[in-house]
C-alpha cells in the first residue's frame, strides 16, 4: 500500500479546515482545494489564529506553528490533486455532487491514491459505484471540531478493500485519533445510534410531558449525558440536526423509530435554528431558563412505614413507589388499587417522578419526602410511560444492538464511537449489560403495547441477550 505523504482536502469550511490542520500538524503536506480562492484563504487564516492561540498558551512553539502553516498549500485547480496520496473530501452533503467529484478524482489521480469522504451519512457505496478502482474509496468521518475530537469513523462501502480500511485506521491512530470501523449504512454508527437521544426528547415535548429545561435536566443530571438533547440540538443547529434525522429516516425506508419531529420542523420553518439564530427551543438572547426542582417537602409528610420489596417496589405507608418499567403510574394504580408514584433514576442523585392522577396529594408528597430524605433531587413530570431517562437509554441500547446484529460495527467499536463521538457516559451496549437486558426488554415491550407502534419494537438481539441473562440468573 502507498505511503501517505501528501494529503489533499477538498472543501475549506469548518470541517475541511480542521482536517487540514490535523494532517499538517502531523507532518503532511496538505493541498487545500476549493473553487473559491478566498474561502481557502479564510480557512488558512482561521488555522493561523488557532495555532497562534496555542502558542500564546504555551501549548505549541512558534517554530512548530510556522512549520505547520508552511505545509498548507492553497489549490484552486483540481488537477493539482493528482499529487496527493490521500484525498479527503469535506464538501457538500449531496450525493450527486460527491459522485461527480469522485468521478473526476478517479480520472486525475493514480490508482494507488486513496479517495475518502468526510460524509456523516451519505452511502460510501453509492459514492464509489461508478468510478474506476472503487476498492480505494472509503469514508473517513471526523467529528467537529476535528483538531479536538478523537473519534474517526472509517467507513467501508461494498467495494472498499480491507487493506484500504487498515491503512486509514493506522493513519488515524498516527494522527492521535481513535478509529472505529463500520460498514456503509445510514448514519454509520454515531448518527444512527444517537437518533433516539433526540427523538425521545422531541416526543416528550410534543406530548407536553414537561418543559424543555426539565427534559434536558433529567437527561443531563439524571442520565449523565454532557448536555440535554434539546439544548444540544440548539447548539448543533435545528436545521442541521433535523436534516440528519430526515436523511436517516428516508434512508431506512421511513422506519418509524427514526421518525422526524413536527415540533422540530416548525422551529426550522420559523428560522429558529438555535444558538446561531438567537432562538431555537430556547431564547439564547434572553435570560437562561433553568429547571425547577421540586421544593423540599416539610416534615408533616414524613412517612411512618417504609417497606422495600425486591421487585423495584417500595411501599411508603399507603403509596407504592415503583421503578419504571414502561407502564404509566395510573395503570399501575389501577392494577394495585392504591396510590402509585413511578420513579425514573440511574446511579445518580436525581429522581424523575410521575404520579397517578387519582393520587391524594398527601400520598405523592410522602413519596417525594422519602426520596428527598434519601438524598435525591426530584423532578416531577406528567404521567408518561417509561418517563425520560430509562426510556431514552433503552432506545439507545436497542439501536446499538440492532446495529451490532446487522454487522454495522463490532460491539467494542459501537461503544467506543458513542463515548468518544458524542461523549455518552457509557457505551450503550456496556450500559445495557449493567442495567439489565431483561428490564430494558420489558420497558420497550410495555412502550410498544402502550403506543401500538413499531417504533418501540425490541430488536432480536435484545431478546436473545435478555433470555441469556434470565437463564444465567435461574
Pairing of strands 137-142, 114-117: parallel
Coil, strand, or helix at residue 31?
A: strand
List strand residue ranges (DSSP E) for 300-357, in order: 306-308, 313-316, 319-323, 340-344, 350-355
Query: Is 194 within 8 Å of 396 (Cβ atoms)?
Result: yes
Task: Note if 336 is an active site residue.
Answer: no
Specify the DSSP element, H or E, that contains 6. Answer: strand 6-10
Q: Phi and psi at residue 456, in whole multiples of 5°?
A: -100, 20
Query: Is 8 within 8 Å of 30 (Cβ atoms)?
Result: yes
Q: How many CA atoms lie within 13 A of 294 on its CB side?
A: 25
Catalytic hit among 28, 141, 200, 261: 141
Catalytic hit among 12, 25, 118, 120: 120
Q: How far is CA 170 from the centre of its chain?
A: 25
**What nine digits make up the cell of 153?**
469513523
SS3 content of the chain, % helix, strand, coil (to 5): 50, 15, 35
| DSSP of 134-147 | GGGEEEEEE-SSTT
> How many Å apart are CA 361 and CA 256, to the nearest integer?
38
Task: Note if 191 is an active site residue.
Answer: yes
Task: Note if 153 is an active site residue.
Answer: yes
Number of C-beta neighbours around residue 5 at 10 A: 12
> Which residues, other chains included, contact 24 with Cβ-Cβ below 8 Å and sequence gap of 6+?
30, 47, 68, 69, 71, 72
Q: CA torsion sign, 332 to 338 to 344 to 347?
A: negative
Catalytic hit among 12, 191, 247, 426: 191
Coil, strand, or helix at residue 190?
A: helix
Task: For residue 32, list its beta bridge partners.
Answer: 9, 74
> How many Å apart are CA 164 and CA 145, to the nearest integer?
25
Both ends of the chain: CA-CA distance in Å? Answer: 53
| DSSP of 118-171 | --SSS-HHHHHTTSS-GGGEEEEEE-SSTTT--EEEEEE-TT--HHHHHHHHHH
Coil, strand, or helix at residue 378?
A: strand
Catalytic hit among 89, 153, 200, 231: 153
**What nine digits make up the cell of 80?**
493539482
**What nine digits make up the cell of 352?**
424523575
Task: Note if 298 is an active site residue.
Answer: no
- As annotated, the active-site residues are 120, 141, 153, 191
Amino acid at each position: 500500500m502507498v505511503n501517505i505523504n501528501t494529503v489533499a482536502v477538498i472543501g475549506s469550511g469548518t470541517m475541511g479546515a480542521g482536517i487540514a490542520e490535523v494532517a499538517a500538524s502531523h507532518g503532511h503536506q496538505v493541498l487545500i482545494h476549493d473553487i473559491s480562492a478566498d474561502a481557502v484563504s479564510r480557512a488558512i487564516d482561521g488555522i493561523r489564529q488557532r495555532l497562534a492561540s496555542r502558542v500564546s498558551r504555551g501549548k505549541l512553539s512558534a517554530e512548530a506553528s510556522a512549520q505547520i502553516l508552511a505545509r498548507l498549500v492553497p489549490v484552486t485547480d483540481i488537477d493539482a490533486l493528482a499529487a496527493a496520496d490521500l484525498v479527503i473530501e469535506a464538501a457538500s452533503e449531496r450525493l450527486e455532487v460527491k459522485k461527480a467529484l469522485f468521478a473526476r478524482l478517479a480520472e486525475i489521480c493514480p490508482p494507488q491514491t486513496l479517495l475518502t469522504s468526510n460524509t456523516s451519512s451519505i452511502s460510501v457505496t453509492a459514492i464509489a459505484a461508478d468510478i474506476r478502482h472503487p476498492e480505494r474509496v472509503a469514508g473517513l468521518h471526523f467529528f467537529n471540531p476535528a483538531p479536538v475530537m478523537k473519534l474517526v469513523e472509517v467507513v467501508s462501502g461494498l467495494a472498499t478493500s480491507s487493506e484500504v480500511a487498515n491503512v486509514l485506521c493506522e493513519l488515524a491512530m498516527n494522527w492521535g485519533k481513535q478509529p472505529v470501523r463500520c460498514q456503509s449504512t445510514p448514519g454509520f454508527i454515531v448518527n444512527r445510534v444517537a437518533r433516539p437521544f433526540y427523538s425521545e426528547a422531541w416526543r416528550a415535548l410534543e406530548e407536553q410531558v414537561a418543559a424543555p429545561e426539565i427534559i434536558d435536566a433529567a437527561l443531563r443530571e439524571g442520565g449523565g449525558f454532557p448536555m440535554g438533547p434539546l439544548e444540544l440540538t440548539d447548539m448543533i443547529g435545528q436545521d442541521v440536526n433535523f436534516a440528519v434525522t430526515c436523511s436517516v429516516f428516508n434512508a431506512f425506508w421511513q422506519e418509524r423509530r427514526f421518525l422526524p419531529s413536527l415540533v422540530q420542523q416548525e422551529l426550522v420553518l420559523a428560522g429558529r435554528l438555535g444558538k446561531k439564530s438567537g432562538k431555537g427551543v430556547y431564547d439564547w438572547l434572553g435570560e437562561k431558563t433553568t429547571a425547577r426542582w421540586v421544593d423540599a417537602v416539610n416534615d408533616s409528610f414524613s412517612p411512618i412505614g417504609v417497606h422495600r420489596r425486591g421487585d423495584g417496589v417500595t411501599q411508603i405507608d399507603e403509596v407504592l413507589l415503583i421503578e419504571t418499567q414502561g407502564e404509566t403510574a395510573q395503570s399501575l394504580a389501577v392494577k394495585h388499587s392504591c396510590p402509585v408514584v413511578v420513579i425514573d433514576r440511574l446511579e445518580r442523585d436525581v429522581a424523575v417522578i410521575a404520579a397517578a392522577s387519582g393520587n391524594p396529594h398527601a400520598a405523592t408528597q410522602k413519596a417525594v419526602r422519602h426520596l428527598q430524605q434519601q438524598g435525591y433531587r426530584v423532578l416531577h413530570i406528567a404521567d408518561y410511560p417509561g418517563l425520560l431517562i430509562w426510556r431514552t437509554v433503552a432506545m439507545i441500547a436497542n439501536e446499538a444492538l440492532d446495529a451490532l446484529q446487522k454487522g454495522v460495527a463490532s460491539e467494542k467499536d459501537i461503544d467506543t464511537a458513542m463515548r468518544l463521538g458524542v461523549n455518552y457516559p457509557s457505551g450503550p451496549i456496556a450500559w445495557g449489560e449493567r442495567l439489565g437486558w431483561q428490564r430494558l426488554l420489558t420497558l420497550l415491550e410495555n412502550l410498544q403495547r402502550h403506543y401500538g407502534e413499531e417504533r418501540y419494537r425490541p430488536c432480536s438481539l435484545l431478546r436473545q441477550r435478555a433470555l441469556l441473562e434470565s437463564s444465567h440468573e435461574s
